[in-house]
Amino acid sequence: MRKISKYIGLAGWCSIMLSSGLAVSCADDWDDHYDGGPRPERTLWQEITSRPDLADFAKLLKSKGCDKYLDSDQRYTVWAPSGAINTTLVTGEEMSAEEIQIQVVENHIARGLISASSVLNDTIRVLNGKPMPFVWENGRPHFNGAGVKTFNIECSNGDLHILDAQAVYNNNIWSYLRQDAAFSSITEYLYSYNKLVFDPEASTPGGVVNGEQVYLDSVFVLSNELWGQIGYLNDESRRYTMLVPVNECWNKMIGTLKTFYNYADEEENATLAEKYARRKVLDALVFENRRQTKWPDYWTSTAGYDFYHPEEEGGLFYGAESIGCSNGEILKSRDVTLDPYQVLATDIVIEAENYGDYLVTGNYYDKENDRPVFVAAAGTGVSKSHYMKYTSTNLLRGATVTYALPNVLSCSYDIGVVFVPTNLTRNGWITTIDQKKGRVDFELSDGYTKEKVSVKDVEIPGNKLDTIWVKKGHTFAYCDYYPNRLTMTDAKVTLKISSTPKRSESAYTRDLYIDCIVLKPTVNEDLSDEE
């Protein structure tokens, strides 16, 4: 019989730790909290069950099988809430009633000996991984907001502190998102990627049937593919800052970025535009705290985008409300100032040497191999340390190549080609090779609009690495953004480069020496959410 469980729980965790010996070693780390004197013979479990005000907590512990662990030699510290137990205080997670009860238990127990008398402002990591403040306030200890009415009750296997109320359950960033209805739009998007994944390491194996392992207890853990991209927002061991726009602001940001994903196909425009706009907005929202080495000058998102002085007026975080979580903080914002060019319209660079991927058509010739000449030029300033040489195949015309320009968005670009001088070789700059000028025609073709932009007789000085601009501020009405395409044969945007000098023009080369093609977004309009 297969049993589905999303969490190992306290009992399972204890058995794993005891069998591995890890629990003993961890408990020894806490010996500094204990003065080394003789301890009472009564165990934590015996002490808890002897107190009528802890009856509800004892009942919960026993139902989860924790009585035998609190009655063992393993050392724990328990903050036992007196009176009734309210499981509804655990919110925000997709958990069963049993899993919620486990969370309540684990929220009040830590490994080792932790005395209140030695605590000034300490943070205790309890069994569910939550960091819980254990501090003195107004003359007595408090445990994550709950007052301690009786403390430092020594037992043979640990310390017991009795709370006058149940300790607060701290939501992590991931679970807190569901606590605020103002976040429902972004939460629906993020949680749509949730799925349960079988965890064989945490599952209990049975026999082998027909050559396949059978499990007596199958454990499934929550997974979300976005975590690996933006950050593990459910991980209690990490610290994040997440800027979370309220519904109106989130929808406004999506609407702005969707204009960059204007697909010619109506069906794709309805689905892909929304998909990619959401994902790009998300790139600006999550920050891992340990990576912010340049604070306060700028913060870097987990997607790798820098935001300068985000806390100042006009900055990304300005005006946001801080909400503390167990693994960081949420910055609740009703008006995010995000320039889409910061995260969305980035440079597109097509390396000429990657002709197998991007070359659509071409006339080229190499006397020995009948192929384009791939030239390594490390340390010369050439992009990616390589460029392509295309030699003319025809006595009457120069070399001609056509490259695909993939993944353009529906915005404006400055389009340029970086040419390499004729005397730049794999051995560096060779003075014995003549530097020759070049002259080319360009033809930019847009398969969606059938538009062709022709630029004739463009001179290339030929004495340096030189970026020749085909056109600045060219606007694409439709995007051609398909990041997962396997071939460029269906690319709708292309650039044809033709060498035009005649054989009689000896000062010119009829060959093409191309480093790369670059498309730089033309930032000439205010598309920020300030509007």
Q: Are 222 and 244 in contact (CB under 8 A)?
A: no
Q: Are 325 and 172 in contact (CB under 8 A)?
A: yes
Range among 55-64, 118-127, 370-379 rated most confident = 55-64
CA dist 391 and 404 (Å) reads 20
Outline which parts of the chain fall under CATH 2.60.120.260.
348-521
Outline which parts of the chain fall under CATH 2.30.180.10.
4-169, 174-190+230-339
Q: Is the pLDDT of residue 32 over 50?
A: no
User: pLDDT digits over 285-337, tens only?
Assistant: 999 999 888 877 889 999 999 999 999 999 999 999 999 999 999 999 999 99
143-151's contacts with Cβ under 8 Å and 24+ in sequence apart are: 143/79, 143/167, 144/168, 144/170, 146/79, 146/81, 148/79, 148/116, 149/82, 151/116
Q: Is the pLDDT of residue 93 over 70?
A: no
Mean per-residue pLDDT, 391-396: 76
Residue 531: which pLDDT band, with cuts at 50, 70 and 90? very low
Mean per-residue pLDDT, 92-101: 81
pLDDT at 179: 87
Q: Is the pLDDT of residue 23 over 50?
A: no
Structure tokens at 470: 């085909």
- Topology of domain 4-169, per CATH? FAS1 domain (2.30.180)
With a CB cutoff of 8 Å and minimum separation 6, the contacts of 223 are 194, 195, 196, 197
Q: Are 526 and 333 in contact (CB under 8 A)?
A: no
pTM for the predicted model, two decimal places = 0.76
User: pLDDT digits over 171-218, tens only?
Assistant: 999 999 988 999 999 999 999 998 888 888 888 888 888 888 888 788
Residue 427: which pLDDT band, with cuts at 50, 70 and 90? low
CA dist 22 and 251 (Å) reads 48
In the structure, how many helices (H) and strands (E) does the chain have? 12, 30
Residue 17: which pLDDT band, with cuts at 50, 70 and 90? very low
Helix, strand, coil share (%) of the chain residues, nearest 5:
25, 35, 45
User: pLDDT digits over 39-87, tens only?
Assistant: 899 999 999 999 999 999 999 999 999 999 999 999 999 999 999 999 8
Q: Is the pLDDT of residue 118 over 70?
A: no
Using only C-alpha atoms, the chain has a radius of gyration, in whole angstroms, of 33
Percent of the chain past pLDDT 70, that is, above it, reads 87
- 339 CA to centre of own chain: 20
Burial of residue 158 (CB within 10 Å: 0-12, 13-18, 19+) is buried
> How far is residue 94 from each of residues 99, 178, 221, 429, 446, measured CA to CA in Å?
9, 10, 11, 64, 48
Classify domain 348-521 at the CATH class level: mainly beta
| The residue to which tokens 């060498």 are assigned | 499
- Topology of domain 174-190+230-339, per CATH? FAS1 domain (2.30.180)
The dihedral over CA atoms of 301, 303, 305, 310, expressed in degrees to the nearest 10, equals: -20
Q: How far apart are the first and last CA of the chain?
A: 59
